[in-house]
């Protein structure tokens, strides 16, 4: 069979893995259901074109295993459903009918809406499973697995998704490797085709040439597969993915006088067991205070997905930004990203762009189709690029995931984060707090009453105390947004005692 032969001769290890997994799903479905009980939903797009040829190969290999025959594939008996729409591109219709004729497909043309047409089809036919060209990243893919029963309220059937974990890159790698024909709209800059009302060529493929106005490069040249739907009309969605980001707009009155709050979450059993000392939390508190942010809470969690999810959900609802570190990687104990995903009600999904960074970073160690480190929270992840970072920072709504494991790495990530903020606005950089510290050898009892009164006189100034040792001097800290006001609080404290009992700490 020409498809299986082309993949076998390819040097693309990733494509071979994707192909073999998809063929396994198809052969598994054909073992569970008879040919009369399965159907294939074809819409003329690139994904269903790939699935058509995978089904042809899968059916051929399935029959070969059953009969031990090496004969060619003379007939493709899987029923093919095409929902014809008046708003479909003429090129899509033409390609679909040409493909059906070329491969002798049993084409059932349905001119009703998807749900009504499906109900009528299943009533008239013994179909129990339908092959779909759904990929992660598609709006309908959320919550689906390779075998997923239909949703409540729909006619009962099994959705079979052989290419669910395929990326945009994988789809085009298959098409170009196997040299299969595809709809010519993809050669005109279309990267994701819907209806004539909501689809235009992808502007990212526009040819930058004054003599080539309104000309576009073909779809397979799109470098970032995450942007394949950039040519589709966007709908305003609802949900937590629309959490308002905090930008670096200091002229915006909504932030000019607002105290922005942050929470810091460390994930790691090794911290709680005392095996590792957490120095990142202390450093991050200092960094946030230096740009005018108030850290409301720091917490250390075990490597448990539910614990991470609950804490992230709690902190994101009460703080402007949450910083989380630890538990990021491919090990069984690295649960941070899974916890973030669960907190926002999404799942982890392969991110093609992030995987390319990892592949470049760790080379042949990054093989196969299930690189766990490239699984990011679906639909809410933004990659923050900087030339000094080997891999981008990860931002999920108002959560920033740090990969630093020591203070030197944190310094670099923070530097990049603040530079990115100045360029485009990741988190607001406010005026740093005005702070002063004084120390005294007075006892706790002597300073307690006057300090309590001082707090009432300066409610806008943070006043705190600590000792570095049990018998050491008391250190009193003052922190406020206004330097003059902070200085006034320090002078008011001095006036309550004899001269010279407080020494300034630089």
Residues 104, 108, 111: CA angle, nearest 5 degrees: 140
DSSP state of 243: P
Superfamily of domain 434-505: ACT domain (3.30.70.260)
The whole-angstrom separation of Cα 415 and Cα 417 is 5
Check: CB of residue 131 under 8 Å from CB of residue 163.
Answer: no
State the Cα torsion 468-472-473-477 to the nearest 10°: 10
- CA 467/CA 462 separation, integer angstroms: 17
The pLDDT, as a whole number, for residue 461 is: 87
pLDDT at 22: 95
Which CATH number describes the domain made up of 247-424? 3.40.980.10
Q: Which two tokens stand for residue 26?
A: 């198809």
pLDDT in the model for residue 102: 92
pTM of the predicted protein model:
0.55
Q: Where in the chain is the domain with CATH 3.40.980.10?
A: 247-424
H or E, element range at 119: helix 114-124
What would the CATH number be for the domain defined by 2-168?
Answer: 3.40.50.620
User: In the chain, which segments carry CATH 3.40.50.620?
Assistant: 2-168
DSSP letters, 370-399, are: --GGGEEETTTEEEE--TT-SS-EEEETTE
Q: Are 47 and 41 in contact (CB under 8 A)?
A: no
Please tell me the predicted confidence (pLDDT) of residue 52.
95
Q: Could you tell me the CA-to-CA distances from 406 to 246, 275, 284, 291 in Å, in that order?
A: 26, 15, 11, 21
297-302 contact pairs (CB < 8 A, 24+):
297/263, 297/264, 298/263, 298/264, 298/265, 298/266, 299/263, 299/264, 299/265, 299/266, 300/265, 300/266, 300/267, 300/268, 300/271, 300/272, 301/265, 301/266, 301/267, 301/268, 302/267, 302/269, 302/272
**Residue 394, number of CB atoms within 10 A of its CB:** 23
Of the candidates 111, 168, 155, 153, the residue with the CA atom closest to the CA atom of residue 129: 155
Residues of the chain with CATH 3.30.70.260: 434-505
pLDDT of residue 384: 85
DSSP string, 172-184: HHHHHHHT----G
Angstrom CA distances, 480 to 12, 263, 354, 475, stand at 59, 19, 41, 17
Centroid of chain to Cα 444: 51
**Contact yes or no for 376/348 (Cβ under 8 A):** yes
pLDDT, tens digit only, all 506 positions of the chain: 789 999 999 999 889 999 999 999 999 999 999 999 999 999 999 999 999 999 999 999 888 887 755 555 557 889 999 988 888 999 999 999 999 999 988 888 988 777 888 888 888 889 999 999 998 767 677 678 899 998 888 889 999 999 998 888 899 999 999 999 999 999 999 999 988 888 899 888 988 776 666 789 999 998 777 778 778 764 333 333 333 333 333 333 444 445 788 999 999 999 999 998 999 999 999 999 888 888 999 999 999 999 999 999 999 988 999 999 998 876 777 899 999 999 988 878 777 777 777 766 665 554 444 455 678 888 788 888 888 888 888 999 899 999 899 999 999 999 988 888 765 556 777 777 788 899 999 998 999 999 999 999 998 888 888 888 888 899 999 988 888 999 999 999 999 999 889 999 87
Residue pair 442/435 in contact (Cβ under 8 Å)? The answer is no
């Amino acid at each position: 069979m020409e498809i299986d032969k082309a993949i076998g001769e390819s040097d693309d290890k990733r494509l071979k893995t994707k192909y073999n997994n998809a063929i396994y799903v198809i052969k598994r479905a054909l073992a569970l259901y008879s040919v009369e009980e399965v159907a294939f939903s074809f819409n003329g797009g690139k994904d269903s074109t790939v699935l058509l040829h995978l089904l042809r190969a899968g059916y051929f290999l399935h029959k070969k295993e059953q009969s031990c025959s090496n004969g060619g594939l003379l007939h493709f008996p899987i029923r093919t459903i095409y929902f014809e729409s008046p708003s479909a591109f003429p090129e899509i219709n033409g390609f679909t009918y040409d493909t059906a004729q070329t491969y002798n497909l049993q084409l059932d043309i349905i001119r009703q809406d998807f749900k009504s047409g499906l109900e009528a089809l299943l009533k008239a036919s013994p179909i129990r499973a339908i092959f779909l060209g759904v990929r992660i990243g598609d709006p309908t893919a959320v919550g689906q697995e390779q075998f997923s029963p239909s949703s409540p309220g729909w006619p009962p059937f099994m959705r079979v998704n052989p290419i669910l974990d395929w990326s945009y890159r994988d789809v085009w790698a298959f098409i170009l490797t196997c040299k299969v024909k595809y709809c010519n709209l993809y050669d005109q800059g279309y990267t994701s085709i819907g209806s004539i009302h909501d689809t235009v060529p992808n502007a990212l493929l526009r040819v930058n040439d004054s003599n080539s106005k309104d000309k576009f490069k073909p779809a397979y040249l799109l470098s970032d597969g995450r942007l394949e739907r950039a040519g589709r009309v966007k709908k305003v969605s609802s949900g937590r993915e629309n959490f308002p980001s905090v930008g670096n707009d200091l002229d915006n009155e909504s932030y000019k006088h607002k105290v922005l709050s942050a929470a810091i979450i460390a994930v790691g059993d090794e911290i709680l067991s005392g095996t590792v000392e957490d120095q990142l939390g202390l450093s991050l508190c200092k960094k946030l205070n230096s740009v005018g942010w108030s850290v409301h809470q720091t917490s250390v969690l075990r490597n448990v997905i539910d614990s991470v999810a609950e804490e992230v959900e709690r902190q994101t609802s009460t703080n402007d930004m949450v910083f989380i570190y630890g538990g990021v990687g491919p090990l069984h104990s690295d649960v941070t990203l899974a916890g973030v995903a669960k907190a926002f009600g999404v799942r982890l999904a392969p991110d093609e762009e992030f995987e390319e960074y990892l592949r470049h970073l760790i080379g042949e160690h990054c093989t196969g189709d299930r690189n766990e480190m490239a699984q990011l929270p679906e639909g809410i992840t933004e990659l923050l690029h900087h030339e000094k970072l080997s891999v981008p920072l990860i931002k999920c709504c108002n959560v920033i995931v740090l990969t630093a494991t020591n203070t030197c790495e944190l310094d670099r990530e923070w530097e990049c984060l603040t530079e990115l903020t100045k360029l485009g606005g990741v988190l607001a950089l406010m005026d740093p707090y005005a702070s002063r510290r004084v120390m005294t050898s007075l006892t706790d009892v002597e300073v307690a009453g006057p300090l309590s009164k001082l707090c009432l006189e300066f409610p806008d100034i943070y006043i705190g105390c600590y000792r570095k040792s049990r018998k050491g001097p008391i250190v009193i800290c003052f922190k406020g947004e206004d330097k003059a006001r902070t200085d006034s609080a320090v002078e008011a404290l001095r006036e309550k005692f004899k001269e010279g009992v407080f020494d300034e700490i630089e």
